[in-house]
Structures are given as C-alpha cells and as structure tokens.
Structure 1
Amino acid sequence: MTRLIIVRHGQTLWNLERKYQGHSDIALTEKGLQQAEAVAARLAAESIEAVYASDLSRAYKTAECIAVKHNLKVNVVPELREIRFGEWEGLTYEEITVRWPGLLGKLWSTPDEIEIPGGETFRQLKERAYDAVNRIVAAHPEQTVAVVAHGGTIGTIICAMLNIHLNHVWSIRQDNTAVNIVDYYEGRPTICLLNCIRHLPQ
C-alpha cells in the first residue's frame, strides 16, 4: 500500500481579502505560518518518506514545515500549482463580477464549462495535477508521501480519483492546511480522510 497525504497550504493575505491567487506567488500570513507548523506537528508521527509541493511559496513553505520534521527536503513539482486565473488574479469576487458580468456565476455552477480570461480550464488543471500525482505515487511504492498543493488543485485531483464530473469540484471543501489521506491498493485510490483540520484551534 502507498499512502498519499495531501495538504492544502496555510492562509495567505489574499485568502483573507478574498482575492483570486492562481499562479500569483503570495506568501503565508503569520496565521498561515502557525497553521503550517500545526499541521507539521500533527504529521510528525507519520512515517513520511518524501515530501512534494507546488513551487508557489505558500505551498512550498507549508511543505517545508512538514519536511523538516522528517529530515527531508521538499521536491518541487510546478504541475501542482493552483489553476491559472489569468486576468482575474489579484481581483476580488466583487471586482470580477463588475468587469465580467455573469461569468463568475458560471465558475461556481458549471466550472468545467468556463473559460477564464487569460487562464486555464479546470480540465487542464486536472490533467496536469493528476498526472503529477500519479507519477509521485508510482515513484513511491509501499511508502507514505506528503503532497502540499492548493484548494482548486486538490479538488480536481479528488474528482479524478473518484471519477466524478468537474462541475462538482466546489462540493469538495478544502480549508487552509486541511489534511486528506488517500491509500492506494494495487494502484487504486481509496480516500480515507477528507478536509480534516483537527490540528487547528476551533
């Protein structure tokens, strides 16, 4: 059995300001750093043998906190980045609604059918992210591996694992530093834990 522990990054300023981040490299807030340390402490007892992360600093720093507990380095995988939001990056929900009337509603209702101006589609995100996950799993038979990525990215990966339509991606909640556990039996993924944040103050 290979175990994949998938973690979302800690809080950023743009999370607080409700701005779309995408490929923009936004650092963790002080709270985000605390969240990263908390999830690292939670996973310290796991027999993690490799740590992977998106190359964006919010994911990399979260992964680094986890890796140091196991005397590991972080393996950078750019394909684990968040969806590229193009012209929407740095804008709030309200600003996008004003500039692209009606389009943001489609992001929430039918994300698989939307074309983000200057950005990616959710199918493109799923293809690159799920391919990366499959390569990671194949490289670590019978091991436990941590992967730190982004909310939208994790949502599409889980959709791919469960073979469900991408229009349901927002039905999969991912809080900051949420822990998800997937066990692979003969290459088949079984989701054992989803969006767990018991390591954070309630």
Structure 2
Amino acid sequence: MTKIIYIRHGQTEWNVAGKYQGQTDVALTPLGVEQAAALAKFFPVPHIDAIYSSDLSRAMRTAEAVAKRFGLTVQPRRELRELHFGEWEGCSLAAMNEGWPELYRDFFRHPDRLAIPGGETFPHLQQRATACIAELCRAHEGQTIAVVAHGAILRTLLCAALHIDLRYVWTIRQFNTAVSIVRYESGGEGWPTVELLNSTAHLDRAGVKK
C-alpha cells in the first residue's frame, strides 16, 4: 500500500488574471505563499516519508513549505508538470474562444478528444501522470508520500483513481493548495481508494482565502 497526498500549488499571478499557465513558469502571489504556509501548518496527516513536485516554481515553492515542516527535501519531477497548453498558454478563456471557437467548445465538452494547437492532449497527460505515480508507488510501498502538482494533471489522476472518463475531467474541482488523498494497493497495481477530495480545511483553519 502507498498513500499519496495530492496537492495543487498555491495561487499564482496568472490564476488571478484568469490566464492558462500550462508549463509556463509563473510565480506564486503573496496569497499563494500564505496558502502554502497554512497547508504546512495544518497538514492533513502527521507524517510523510517523501515529497515530490512538478519542477515548475509554483509547485516547488508550495512543496518546499511542506517539506520544511517534515524535515524533507523536495524531489522535482518533470513528469508532474501541468498540461502543455501550446498556443493557449497565457490566454484567457475569452481569448481562447475568440481565436479558436470550435476547439474552445471541445475544451469543456470533449476534453478527451481535444487537440490543443501546439500542445498536449488530456490522454497523453494522464498517461505520463499515471506512469509517474506507478513508479512512485513501487518505490514507496508501505509509505505515505506527498505529490505537489497542478490542476489539470491532478484532475486526470483523480479521474483514473475514480474510474471516470476523461470527458468529465472538469467535473472535479481543484482549489489552490487543495488536498486529495488516494490509497494505492499492491505497488499501484491494485484498486485505488480515494479518501479525500479537494479539501481546503487548512485554509479555513488558518483563516486564509481560497
């Protein structure tokens, strides 16, 4: 058994501006830093054995706050990066709709078959995400680890754990620094069990905004 504490990064400048970040390296806002500190202070489990993160700075800085609490070093993994949004990186929803109206409709109605110009598909994202998690499960049998990543990639991992088709990936909400917990049996090859989903209890306890 491996228990994974999934965490979305704290608020960024582009979250505030309503722009899609993808693999562009965007910094946390002061509120994002505060959210990460609240997460570390009111972490949902008393102990973790390791912490992994997307190598993008918004995830790394969030992970470092948690790592410091547990005396750990963050282990960056490129495979945990966000969906590559290609030509849509830095775009707002309005800009996406104006420039690519037909593709924009598929973004929400059929993300499972969407082909972002110059970007990555959701099936490919899920494939690289689940492959990375399977590797971590094999390396941490009998342990609890944290994985800090991004909204879209975490949604694909949770779809896989819940056996939800990728068409419905946007039905799973992921707030900044939200925590989800999944228990994986038999080195990641058994049935996963979702124990917590999109929790921001740490922000409530600290009196910090979502």
Q: Confirm or deny a common fold (TM above 0.5).
A: yes
- State the 1:151 CA deviation: 0.5
**2:161–2:182 contact (8 Å) kept in structure 1:** no
Which stretch shifts more, 191-200 or 181-190?
181-190
1:190 equivalent to 2:162? Answer no
Give distance in 2, aligned partners of 1:31 and 1:51: 22
Matches within 5 A, 1:120-131: 120-131=120-131
> Structure 1 pair 45/164, CA: closer, same or farther in 2 (3 Å)?
closer
- State the 1:185 CA deviation: 3.1
Give distance in 2, aligned partners of 1:92 and 1:69: 35
Matches within 5 A, 1:153-168: 153-168=153-168
**1:44–1:66 contact (8 Å) kept in structure 2:** no
Structure 2: give runs of 5+ residues left out of the alignment: none
Q: Any idea what SS the aligned residue of 1:43 has?
A: coil
Which stretch shifts more, 40-49 or 154-163?
40-49
**2:183–2:195 contact (8 Å) kept in structure 1:** yes
Which stretch shifts more, 185-194 or 25-34?
185-194
1:22 equivalent to 2:25? Answer no
| Structure 1 segments of 4+ aligned residues over 2 angstroms from their partners | 184-188
TM-score (norm 1): 0.96
**1:44–1:70 contact (8 Å) kept in structure 2:** no
Deviation string, structure 1 residues 83-129 (Cα, Å, up to 9, x no partner): 00000001111111111123212101110111000000000100001
Q: What does residue 2 of structure 2 align with?
A: 2
Give distance in 2, aligned partners of 1:184 and 1:102: 38
Q: What does residue 113 of structure 1 align with?
A: 113
Give distance in 2, aligned partners of 1:134 and 1:185: 11
Q: Please report the RMSD computed on the Cα atoms of aligned residues, expressed in angstroms.
A: 1.2
Q: What does residue 175 of structure 2 align with?
A: 175
Which stretch shifts more, 3-12 or 35-44?
35-44
**1:50–1:144 contact (8 Å) kept in structure 2:** yes
Identical-residue share of aligned pairs (%): 49
Structure 1: give runs of 5+ residues left out of the alignment: none
The aligned length equals: 202
TM-score (norm 2): 0.93
Deviation string, structure 1 residues 135-183 (Cα, Å, up to 9, x no partner): 1111001111000000000000111122221001001100000000111
Which stretch shifts more, 63-72 or 184-193?
184-193
